[in-house]
Amino acid sequence: MLSYIARRLLLMPVSLLLVLGIVFLIVRITGDPVEIYLGPEATQEQIDLLRSELQLDRPLWEQFAIFLADVLRGDFGTSIQHKAAALPLVVERLGATVELAAIAFALAIVAGVGLGILAAVRVDRPADFVISSIAVAGQSMPSFWLGILLIQLFALDLGWLPTSGRGTAAQLVLPAVTLATFILPNFVLVTRTAILEIARDPFVMAARARGASEGRILFAHVLPNALNPVISLAGLQVGRLMGGAVVTESIFAWPGVGRLIIASVFQRDLPVVVAAVFIVSLTIVVTNLLVDLAQATVDARIRLG
């Protein structure tokens, strides 16, 4: 178990290094930050001065090393728009995003696995047909439109829930549901398939032959074994969840990292964009690690292999 954890921990910095490398390449090779800082009317001397101040006259790999050293110290530069350090601006909004994403993630897993179990138990009956069809259609649903439909129905027509903002529990409902639907259909379909596959294994027949009740077979024999692909899926979906959070936040004016990123893109506020992308990637990597550990706890083959 310890060597497994160690191996997973080693992969984390590799992921983050890769993300930083890609972002660095895109930002540095193409856009000259000096022009953005100084504007078009700067003189050549001003440009040269700032360029050597920011160490942009060094070779690219040296610049990357400097960039990495800055990142390790938590220094992503100064926001052009807010005139403040970029990282604290992002971290300030991280709570809102994590709150939204965590609730949506839990909702998607609980509802998705629940509906998947229901569909598998009633396989080839009307309930299975309805759940599976909606799940397949849900994979084609643009979730941002679903968010808009929910606003129309529950906020504008019925007036039960607020359209946007953050603070009360009521304001959390629509964004969380919308974000959950980005990944929920996959959980339904994978749970259903996993259960149906495990249920055909001989050991299930053996349990039935020993006279175990159907409920006991499902919960004590089939489900623990079907959990593995579902947890794998959860790991794969973390990235999509965080991507969806950016869209969802902008639909519901949720004051999180996603909205900050979008606003910063329009202002070409690159330090904030880079810091925010890094923080979101860090969130994804940490969550993935937790998912891997959960899987290792459930599945001895991974733990020992």
Partner 1 sequence: MIGSTILAAALGLAILGPWLAPHDPIQQNLMIRLRPPFWGERTVQGYWLGTDNYGRDILSRLILGTRFSILVGISAMLIAGAIGSTLGLVAGYFGGRWEQVIMRFADAYQALPDILLAIVIVAVFGGGLFNLVIVLGVSGWSVYVRIVFGLVRSWRERPFIEAAVASGAGDVYIMARHILPQIVPVLVVVSTLQVAHMILAESALSFLGLGLPPPTPTWGNMLAEGRDRLLVAPWIANLSGLFIILVVSGINFFGNGLREYLDPKARNGR
The residue within the footprint of partner 1, chosen from 117, 189, 198, 251 (CB under 8 A), is 251
Toward partner 1, which CB reaches closer, 192 or 221? 192
The residue within the footprint of partner 1, chosen from 34, 98, 243, 298 (CB under 8 A), is 243
Taking CA 24 as the corner, what is the angle to CA 65 and CA 237, rounded to the nearest 5 degrees? 120
> Using CB under 8 A, which of the segments 82-90, 93-101, 114-122, 272-280 binds partner 1?
272-280
CA 44 to centroid of chain Cα atoms? 44
Task: Say how far apart CA 42 and CA 35 lie, in whole Å.
Answer: 8
The residue within the footprint of partner 1, chosen from 285, 291, 295, 296 (CB under 8 A), is 285
Q: Give the residue from 115, 109, 142 showing the smallest Cα distance to 130.
A: 115
Cβ neighbours, 10 Å, residue 143: 20
User: 174: part of which helix (H) or strand (E)?
Assistant: helix 169-198
Query: Total number of residues binding partner 1 (CB under 8 A)?
Result: 53
The residue within the footprint of partner 1, chosen from 288, 291, 295, 296 (CB under 8 A), is 288
Closest approach of partner 1 to the CB of residue 243, in Å: 4
Q: Does 246 bind partner 1 (CB under 8 A)?
A: yes
The residue within the footprint of partner 1, chosen from 62, 240, 253, 290 (CB under 8 A), is 240
Considering only residues 5 to 64 of the shown chain, the ones binding partner 1 according to CB under 8 A are 11, 14-19, 22-23, 26-27, 30-31
Sign of CA dihedral 123, 126, 128, 133: positive
Task: Say how far apart CA 115 and CA 135 lie, in whole Å.
Answer: 10
Task: Say how far apart CA 262 and CA 248 lie, in whole Å.
Answer: 12
Q: Does 206 bind partner 1 (CB under 8 A)?
A: no
Q: How far apart are the first and last CA of the chain?
A: 9
Both structure tokens of 64: 């990357």
> Using CB under 8 A, which of the segments 52-60, 146-154, 205-213, 220-228 binds partner 1?
146-154
Please answer whether residues 204 and 226 qualify as being in contact, where contact means their C-beta atoms are separated by less than 8 angstroms. Answer: no
Closest approach of partner 1 to the CB of residue 213, in Å: 25
Closest approach of partner 1 to the CB of residue 11, in Å: 7
The residue within the footprint of partner 1, chosen from 265, 290, 300, 304 (CB under 8 A), is 265
> Using CB under 8 A, which of the segments 94-102, 109-117, 171-179, 236-244 binds partner 1?
236-244
Q: Does 102 bind partner 1 (CB under 8 A)?
A: no
Q: Give the residue from 164, 161, 293 showing the smallest Cα distance to 235.
A: 293
Toward partner 1, which CB reaches closer, 22 or 110? 22
Task: Say how far apart CA 228 and CA 291 lie, in whole Å.
Answer: 11
Toward partner 1, which CB reaches closer, 49 or 98? 98
Environment class of residue 7 by beta-carbon count within 10 Å: exposed (0-12), middle (13-18) or buried (19+)? Answer: exposed
The amino acid that residue 88 corresponds to is P
The amino acid that residue 152 corresponds to is Q
Q: Give the residue from 4, 2, 5, 63 showing the smallest Cα distance to 32.
A: 63
Question: Where do contacts with partner 1 occur on this chain (CB under 8 A)?
Answer: 11, 14-19, 22-23, 26-27, 30-31, 136-137, 139-142, 144-145, 148-149, 151-152, 156, 196, 236, 238-240, 242-244, 246-247, 250-251, 261-262, 264-266, 268, 270, 273-274, 277, 280-281, 284-285, 288
